[in-house]
Amino acid sequence: MTMDFTGKVALVTGSSSGIGREVALKLSSMGADVVITGLEEEGIYEVVNTCQTQYAGKALGVYGDLTDDQFVKQLVEKTVQEFSKIDILVNNAGILVKTDIEAPGYMASFDRAMRVNVRSMQLVTHLSVPYLVATNGCIVNTSSLCANKPFRTEIAYCMSKSAVDMFTKCLALELGPRGVRVNSVNPSEIRTPLISTDIEIHERFWQRNSPLGRIGEPADVANAVAFLASPMAAFITGAHLPVDGGYRLTSDRS
């Protein structure tokens, strides 16, 4: 069995850069029609252009903010208008929030983490479910190692990713009888624009502390997403797939 997404339509949020970009390109390279959305207009154009010039599938770019409910509605509507269906939903959009609990802006940071990492995912899914049921589709949520491993100054982020994991399990239980699988990928730190500063420090940390001795790459996560979205994972739902080089097996970071 091979991973061939020809004829499938994938909506990938947060796909103008980083992990989402790599996921969109991976699915497109395997034949899928993809919807690219994010907050970086140039990034959206670049991903759409790459998909259309290098791969056989179609690509639609939609610029906007997922914390805007009206935009989310338009995103799902445009996807269905363009492709008539949704087979794969990759809820990838998210932000990293680092704030000490005593910081004056902690609650504002907490609210933003929940809005972006949790609420927007709920709404995209809520509006997409009827189409996913119609295609016996699947959902892959981007969670994090932080869902189960605490880190200092990352309370809001870790809580939001724990919520994503529970959302994944509850949704898998609810939608399984209707033919929709729901899983998550739980990566460790990945080489993306989020850690573009002091990259050598990050690389040295992972070389020392990860059993596999390196930092994660966007392609590592994209490969995991493609597997979970494929028929090869047809009997997998409600799972959280670690993409962390084994770091979850180590003691807590000081």
Q: Please name the residues in contact with 101: beta carbons below 8 A apart, sequence gap of 6 or more.
A: 155
Active-site position among 63, 106, 131, 157: 157
Answer yes or no: 157 catalytic: yes
- Catalytic sites, residue numbers: 157
